[in-house]
Every structure is written in structure tokens, then in C-alpha cells.
């Protein structure tokens, strides 16, 4: 058996969480990510930035340098470099350092360094929370299955927003703050979602009536996407339970422990023994 190369040993540490070194590296990485995100956030707090701004900026660049080296090492040690660069984590790893360098030209872009928090998804891998990822995959499948119905629902909501927004523009008019149909549509969205910022309110009796109808409609519409996705999740769980129940009903072989393909089988499909 040939000895592992330096790149292969590095790959095991960086990409694997099964060894003590790999788990230690990943935990240190998570702590660094949390610290770097905290530094970016603190830079937006004016009293703190006024006193410790220079130190925070230096610390941010240290984290950027650390993550840049880590990203380069990941590319170096991985065998299929193109696959890594195109993968979800490959893109996220790149986005965790890119804003710092773009920020040299466009300063406000640097605040997008909070994208580093997305890398915390690695916690599932580190602490072996694979079942949680499987549940997430099931939820993703449910969303995909109900995608067409959710699209129809969103189209209906958009039509309601356009109609109600246009109607409020006609009823209330610019004198009450509804200066255009897009502004009125914004009001309709805020009202339908029951947020109610209060920056635009109807003043006429007809306007208040329309607002009341829209609020009641909003409460009704909120549960629709939840119901659609929940139905798909229940369907998936029922299908899994039915499959398991069918498997449990199959005849088992006392010789090899295998299951017959049909419940009415008299002989084991694997060893041929009498059931």
C-alpha cells in the first residue's frame, strides 16, 4: 500500500470530519467564521467603530487572509478541482473572501462578508447530523413537487395586488398618498401580508372597506403555501410508511434471513429454502 501524498493527507484533514485532526480543523474553522461575521457586524455599530474601527478592520483583513489561504489550499488538495469550484461549497468559499477585495474599489460591498455565515452549514457534516440533511432534502422535494401549484398561487396573488392597487389609486388618489399605481401596489402587498407599516393608510370610507377586505383575504392566503407543502410532506411520509409496511408483510426465510419477493411465495428467492 503506497504512502499518502501531502495533498491527500491535507484533503483528509480539510474535507473530512472522521479523523480527530479533521474535526479539530472544522471546529476551528467554524469558530473563525463566527468571529469574522461578528467583526463585520461590529463595524456597522457607530460607537464601537469610532473607537475600535482600525482594529476591527485589521482583524477583518486577517480573517480574509486566513480564508483566502484556506480556499487556495482546498483547490490545491482536491482531486477534481473543477467539480469543487462549481459545487455549492466551492462557490460559498469563494464568496467568503471575494467581497473584501471588491471592497477595495466599492467599499460597501465589504459588508457582504456576512455571506461567510453560510459556511456554517458545514456543522451538519462535522457533528454527523446527516439525518437532518436528509430531512432538508425531503423538504426540498416537497417544495419541488408543489412548485406548480405555488406558482399558480403566486400568480393569483400578483393579480390581486395589481387589481387592488389600481382600485386604491382610483379611490384614494394622490391627495391621500397613493401617488401612483406602483405605490398603491406596495400598499396592497404590505396590507395583504398583514405587516401594516402605517406609512400609507386609506382615508375614505371606500378605501377603508377595500383595506378591510384585503386584510381578511391576506389572512386566508397566508396558510395556502404552508398547506400545499405540508400535503406533499405528508404524502411522502405516508409513502415511506406504506413501503415499510409492505416490506414487513413479506415472508422471511429462516435459513438466510432474506425476504421473499411475493407474500404468497413458498420458497426463498435467495437460497431456495422452504418458507
Residues 10-25: pLDDT tens digits? 998 888 777 888 888 8
pTM: 0.59
Query: pLDDT 10s digit of each residue in the chain, 275 long?
Result: 457 899 999 998 888 777 888 888 888 988 998 999 899 889 889 999 999 999 999 999 999 999 999 999 999 999 899 999 998 889 988 988 988 888 888 887 777 777 788 877 766 555 555 555 556 666 677 777 777 777 878 888 899 999 999 999 999 999 999 999 999 999 999 998 888 888 899 999 999 999 999 998 888 777 777 776 677 666 655 555 455 545 445 555 555 555 544 555 565 655 556 65
Residue 107 has what pLDDT?
Answer: 80
Count CA within 13 A, CB hemisphere, residue 100: 21
Residue 47 has what pLDDT?
Answer: 92
The dihedral through the CA atoms of 136, 141, 147, 153 has a sign that is: negative
Q: For residues 156 and 159, what is the distance between their CA atoms, to the nearest angstrom? A: 5
Residue 30 has what pLDDT?
Answer: 87
CB 33 within 8 A of CB 116: yes
Q: Residue 125: which residues within 8 A CB-CB, separation 6 or more?
A: 17, 26
The tens digit of pLDDT for each residue in 242-275 reads 555 454 455 555 555 555 445 555 656 555 566 5
Count of beta carbons in the 10 Å neighbourhood of residue 43: 19
- Three cell numbers, residue 101: 477585495
Q: Residue 159: which residues within 8 A CB-CB, separation 6 or more?
A: none
Residue 261 has what pLDDT?
Answer: 47
Give per-residue burial for 223-248: e unless 16+ CB within 10 Å, then b: eebeebbeebbeeeeeeeeeeeeeee
Tell me which residue of 1, 25, 27 sits closest to 11, measured CA to CA: 25
Q: For residues 69 and 32, what is the distance between their CA atoms, to the nearest angstrom? A: 13
CA 108-111-112 angle, 5° bins = 110
Residue 88 has what pLDDT?
Answer: 85
Q: Which residues pair with 259 in a beta bridge?
A: 252
Q: For residues 188 and 206, what is the distance between their CA atoms, to the nearest angstrom? A: 15
Q: For residues 28 and 34, what is the distance between their CA atoms, to the nearest angstrom? A: 10
| Whole-number percent of the chain with pLDDT over 70 | 73
CA 64-22-25 angle, 5° bins = 30
Residue 190 has what pLDDT?
Answer: 92
Question: Long-range contacts made by residues 34-38, C-beta under 8 angstroms, separation at least 24?
Answer: 34/120, 35/63, 36/60, 36/63, 36/64, 36/67, 36/113, 36/116, 37/113, 37/114, 37/116, 37/117
Amino acid at each position: 500500500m503506497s504512502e499518502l501524498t501531502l495533498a491527500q493527507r491535507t484533503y483528509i484533514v480539510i474535507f473530512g470530519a472522521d479523523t480527530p485532526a479533521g474535526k479539530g480543523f472544522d471546529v476551528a474553522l467554524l469558530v473563525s467564521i463566527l468571529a469574522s461575521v461578528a467583526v463585520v457586524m461590529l463595524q456597522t455599530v457607530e460607537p464601537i467603530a469610532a473607537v475600535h474601527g482600525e482594529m476591527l478592520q485589521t482583524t477583518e483583513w486577517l480573517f480574509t487572509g486566513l480564508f483566502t489561504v484556506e480556499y487556495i489550499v482546498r483547490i490545491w488538495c482536491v482531486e477534481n478541482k473543477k467539480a469543487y469550484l462549481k459545487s455549492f461549497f466551492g462557490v460559498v468559499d469563494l464568496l467568503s473572501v471575494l467581497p473584501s477585495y471588491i471592497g477595495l474599489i466599492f467599499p460597501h460591498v465589504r459588508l457582504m462578508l456576512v455571506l461567510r455565515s453560510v459556511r456554517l452549514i458545514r456543522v451538519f457534516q462535522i457533528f454527523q447530523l446527516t439525518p437532518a440533511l436528509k430531512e432538508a432534502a425531503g423538504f426540498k422535494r416537497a417544495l419541488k413537487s408543489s412548485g406548480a401549484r405555488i406558482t399558480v398561487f403566486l400568480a393569483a396573488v400578483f393579480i390581486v395586488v395589481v387589481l387592488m392597487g389600481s382600485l386604491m389609486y382610483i379611490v384614494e388618489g394622490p391627495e391621500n398618498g397613493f401617488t401612483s399605481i406602483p405605490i398603491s401596489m406596495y400598499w396592497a402587498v404590505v396590507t395583504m401580508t398583514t405587516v401594516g407599516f402605517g406609512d400609507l393608510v386609506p382615508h375614505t370610507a371606500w378605501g377603508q372597506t377595500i383595506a378591510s377586505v384585503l386584510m381578511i383575504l391576506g389572512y386566508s392566503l397566508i396558510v395556502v403555501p404552508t398547506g400545499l407543502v405540508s400535503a406533499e410532506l405528508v404524502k411522502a411520509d405516508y409513502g415511506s410508511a406504506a413501503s415499510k409496511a409492505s416490506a414487513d408483510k413479506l415472508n422471511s426465510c429462516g435459513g438466510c434471513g432474506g425476504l421473499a419477493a411475493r407474500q404468497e411465495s413458498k420458497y426463498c428467492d435467495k437460497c431456495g429454502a422452504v418458507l
